Structure 1
Amino acid sequence: MKLLRFVLRLTLVLPLILFGLLCVGLVYPFIGPKTRAWLNRTWSRCLMAVCGLRVVFKGEPRMTGPVLLVANHVSWIDIFVLNSARATSFVAKSEIRSWPVIGWLVAGAGTLFIERGQRHAVHAMGEAMQARFKLGDAVGLFPEGTTTEGFELLPFHASLFEPARTTGVEIQPVALRFLQHGKRNGFAAFVGEESLVANLWRVMGATGLSVEVVFLPVLATKHADGSLPTRLELSHQAREAIQGALS
């Protein structure tokens, strides 16, 4: 049955991916940002549906204006789940760009790739993020820097909170809770040395998978005395909020 489910879903996923690639290459250059955002959101919802994942939104996402969405990181699924709520430009490691198909799709959708280990990478990424904020876009950040099984959080890297902090852009923590048959587990997690193909085989052959996307309250942009919180304070606040939702 697992093989049958995988094959059936693959026959739906492949045309959807082809459509996505055609949109990125032939349609996006000629349409406005609102239409691109609608296509990103609709396509991401369709992808999650045909892959067999039910997405449940909780809380109140910021749907207009610039915002930094800060989330825990479990899988390649995360980018498409969050895009299902609002079209978002994600900060991602440069290695993702070379992933077959998924790398092409997220690149075409506006992902910001950071060259980790490069001397000026954080500064360049900060400028790229601020440019997106000026356009009124949502930018997504996975500050753990890698994936986990989705129960405990790794320490957050605070450096990329700075572009939002200095420009007064709202920061909204988001908790991603993965379940199977209604119970929390790490079945869909893409961790360790597992290949993308192996993870796709497991996820697309499974039943009962769902993701709860919990949009938490926006962080305060100023202290009571009017001073700005530091980026380290903001990262700690975001981490505590997400950990509370995952517990």
Structure 2
Amino acid sequence: MNGPWDVRSVCTPHCAGHAAPRVPARESARRAAAFATAVRRVLADGDLLADPVRLRAHARALLAALGIEAEGVDKLAAAGTGAGGPGTLTVLNHISWLDIVALLAAEPTTLLAKREVGRWPVVGGLARRAGTHFIDRTSPRRLPHTVRELSDLLAAGRSVAVFPQATTWCTADQGAFRRATFQAALDAGAPVRPLTVSYTQQGRPSTVAAFCGDDTFAASLRRVLTARALAVRLTAHPALPTAGTALDRRELAARAEHAVLGRGTVRPAAAAIRPPRLAPQAPPPTTGPPLRQHA
């Protein structure tokens, strides 16, 4: 736990496992060499990584070097509502450090992430170059300030991606969404786009990419390098509008969680269940003497 408003996941490194036989040692060594080359190219680009086109290309090269097939990345519509409108708040579940690489391979966007991500090898550098805003979860007093910053970014037309679960889980159907970032979307009138990240091996669900608990980047990387037919899929769900709705952040978070995690139920929108307003009725006529008023 990193602070009083942090989240503890029940997942541990023991949750991560192969769903298919490992690749031969020669193949994992080839991947390791290709990944090292891709990382060197990332580091050599330095500040040029701020260019979205270059950032996307590097993210895709890292996935390819690891032998990971990226599914759905070319089908994601660009975030945002058009010129002059607010940006889009993309909310997605969190399984692995690879989530960030896959998201950047689809559409480089501003990220809101815990400050620990900035210290992750390779991924931390990519996240910083993408303009990530890091959250210090040891300081709950900064939460309102973070929400205001996020709201200002969205209102200015910047699209932002966040992980509302606040920690990683080994599968795409666990955890719960924290509500604070949804308040920023409501304040800015920004739509919320739910996005599900999932991993498979040979078409079967796999936890091999999970990066949970006290796992280390090196151990996680070794598992990924030996994973056979690993694929990451990004599935976008219909956007949830906020402008002109009666949703509060609790309901908005519940709807996004339902879409991303594929479980749970949500209440109908408040506007849909609000009873019709009735015309005021006149008080019934009195038949007896008026009540005496006491001082």
TM-score range, shorter chain: 0.7 to 0.9
C-alpha distance in structure 1 between counterparts of 2:205 and 2:124, whole Å: 28
* 1:45–1:84 CA contact under 8 A, matched in 2: yes
Aligned partner (choices 105, 112, 121) of residue 100 of structure 1: 121
1:61 aligns with 2:81: no
> Per the alignment, in what secondary structure is the counterpart of residue 137 of structure 1?
coil
* 1:2–1:206 CA contact under 8 A, matched in 2: no
Q: Larger % of helix: which?
A: 1
* 1:144–1:153 CA contact under 8 A, matched in 2: no
User: 1:12 offset after TM fit, Å?
Assistant: 1.6
1:77 aligns with 2:98: yes
Aligned partner (choices 230, 235, 240) of residue 248 of structure 2: 230
C-alpha distance in structure 2 between counterparts of 1:160 and 1:120, whole Å: 15
Aligned partner (choices 178, 181, 186) of residue 207 of structure 2: 186
Q: What does 1:91-240 correspond to in 2, within 5 Å?
A: 91-134=112-155, 136-222=157-243, 226-240=244-258
C-alpha distance in structure 2 between counterparts of 1:154 and 1:20, whole Å: 33
C-alpha distance in structure 1 between counterparts of 2:213 and 2:56, whole Å: 29
Amino acid of the structure 1 residue aligned with 2:70: V
C-alpha distance in structure 1 between counterparts of 2:149 and 2:28, whole Å: 38
User: 1:227 offset after TM fit, Å?
Assistant: 4.0
* 1:112–1:128 CA contact under 8 A, matched in 2: no
Amino acid of the structure 1 residue aligned with 2:57: T
User: 1:112 offset after TM fit, Å?
Assistant: 1.2
Amino acid of the structure 1 residue aligned with 2:213: G
User: 1:64 offset after TM fit, Å?
Assistant: 4.2
* 1:24–1:105 CA contact under 8 A, matched in 2: no
Quick one: percent identity of the two aligned structures? Answer: 28
* 1:153–1:239 CA contact under 8 A, matched in 2: no
User: 1:43 offset after TM fit, Å?
Assistant: 1.4
User: 1:132 offset after TM fit, Å?
Assistant: 3.3
Count of matched residue positions in the alignment of Structure 1 and Structure 2: 236
User: 1:78 offset after TM fit, Å?
Assistant: 0.4
Gaps of 5+ in 2: 1-22, 82-86, 264-295
C-alpha distance in structure 2 between counterparts of 1:15 and 1:152, whole Å: 34
Report what 2:59 is aligned to: 44
Amino acid of the structure 1 residue aligned with 2:217: L
Amino acid of the structure 2 residue aligned with 1:111: T
Amino acid of the structure 1 residue aligned with 2:27: R
User: 1:129 offset after TM fit, Å?
Assistant: 2.2
C-alpha distance in structure 2 between counterparts of 1:153 and 1:191, whole Å: 13
C-alpha distance in structure 1 between counterparts of 2:35 and 2:223, whole Å: 15
TM-score (norm 2): 0.73
Amino acid of the structure 1 residue aligned with 2:248: T
* Distance change >3 Å, CA 158–CA 43, structure 1 → 2: same
User: 1:198 offset after TM fit, Å?
Assistant: 0.3
CA shift digits 1:41-68 (9 cap, x unpaired): 1211111111111111176534444211
CA shift digits 1:79-125 (9 cap, x unpaired): 11111111122111111222233222321221111000203332232
CA shift digits 1:1-35 (9 cap, x unpaired): 5432232122222222222223233x35xxxx7xx
1:24 aligns with 2:46: yes
TM-score (norm 1): 0.87
* 2:93–2:172 CA contact under 8 A, matched in 1: no
